């Protein structure tokens, strides 16, 4: 039986429901807190509206895996989507905070079924070298291939590198939850002390592989745009073996000002 061209978009849409279960309710938490201001535990219970589905997912997902093998993955996916619609729209017709929490539990159960069945159906219908190429082709990894030659560093060069300290730069982001906390978002440096026991220098070339929509629906255009960029210069890369200490009491991580 030929595969329907709508199968992949439908399964990907079902998979996105697992993220939307929590993302769509977060902006409305301040409004819920204001609406249920008369409830004695409103500030405490409204925070559970986001976390309760996660608890239900952890409980129902293993059970959903067993039921999918007995009832069929498509049947259980349809049940999960129907329950998702009912529980997800509960805010339209429920005006009780406790009942809303119960509906969020039901929504988590629906997400558990959808998550398990959609992923299982994706692996059932989309696998094999004809579907995953070029990832399964020899000498290729993910979306690029490369050829490299290794040059082992001398003992003197390793000893010189082992005495060096390095500083990595990153971005520290600690989000507040819809007004309940303060968001921290700042550039930060992380000093480290490196002990290198071996190192190699690699030189070679990289050949990008263009992707199709089916291989990476959300990012194929980004990969293809990178693949079309000209290679101005190829620089060598160093691979080292050793240990890194990120906790330096005399040089702690600090904010870049």
CATH of the domain at 108: 1.20.1250.20
Same domain? 120 vs 193: no
Global pTM?
Answer: 0.50
Crossing angle for the helix pair 97-125 and 73-88, to the nearest 10 degrees: 150
- Tokens read off for 225: 């745009």
Lookup result for tokens 């199968």: 7
Quote the pLDDT of residue 253. Answer: 76
Q: Answer whether residue 131 is part of any domain.
A: no
Quote the pLDDT of residue 132. Answer: 43
- Cα–Cα distance, 255 to 239 (Å, whole number): 28
- Cα–Cα distance, 138 to 142 (Å, whole number): 11
Same domain? 37 vs 120: yes
- Cα–Cα distance, 256 to 223 (Å, whole number): 31
For the chain, 257 residues long, the average pLDDT of each consecutive 10-residue run is 73 82 75 82 79 87 87 89 89 84 90 88 68 40 40 54 62 66 77 78 76 80 86 78 76 77
Q: Is the dihedral of CA 194, 199, 205, 211 positive or negative?
A: negative
Taking alpha carbons only, the member of 135, 132, 79, 136 closest to residue 110 is 79
Q: Answer whether residue 160 is part of any domain.
A: yes
Same domain? 15 vs 109: yes
Same domain? 211 vs 106: no
Same domain? 21 vs 47: yes
Dihedral (Cα; 108, 110, 115, 116), 10-degree rounding: 110
Find the domain containing 143 and state its range.
Answer: 137-255
Q: Answer whether residue 2 is part of any domain.
A: no
| DSSP run (H or E) holding 204 | strand 184-208
Quote the pLDDT of residue 161. Answer: 54
């Amino acid at each position: 039986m030929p595969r329907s061209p709508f199968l992949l978009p439908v399964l990907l849409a079902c998979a996105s429901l697992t993220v939307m279960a929590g993302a769509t309710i977060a902006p409305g938490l301040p409004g819920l807190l204001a609406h249920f201001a008369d409830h004695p535990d409103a500030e405490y219970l409204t925070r559970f509206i986001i976390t309760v589905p996660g608890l239900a997912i952890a409980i129902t997902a293993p059970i959903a895996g067993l039921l999918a093998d007995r009832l069929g993955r498509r049947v259980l996916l349809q049940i999960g989507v129907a329950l998702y619609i009912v529980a997800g729209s509960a805010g339209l017709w429920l005006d009780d905070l406790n009942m809303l929490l119960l509906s969020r539990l039901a929504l988590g159960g629906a997400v558990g079924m959808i998550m398990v069945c959609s992923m299982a159906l994706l692996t059932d219908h989309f696998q094999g070298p004809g579907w995953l190429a070029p990832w399964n082709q020899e000498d290729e990894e993910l979306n690029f291939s490369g050829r490299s030659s290794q040059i082992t560093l001398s003992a003197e060069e390793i000893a010189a590198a082992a005495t060096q300290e390095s500083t990595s730069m990153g971005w520290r982001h600690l989000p507040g939850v819809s007004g309940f906390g303060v968001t921290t978002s700042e550039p930060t440096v992380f000093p480290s002390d490196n002990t290198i026991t071996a190192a190699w220098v690699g030189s070679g070339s990289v050949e990008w592989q263009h992707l199709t929509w089916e291989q990476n629906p959300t990012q194929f255009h980004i990969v293809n745009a990178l693949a079309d960029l000209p290679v101005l210069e190829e620089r060598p890369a160093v691979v080292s073996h050793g240990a890194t200490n990120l906790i330096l009491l005399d040089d702690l991580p600090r904010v870049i000002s």
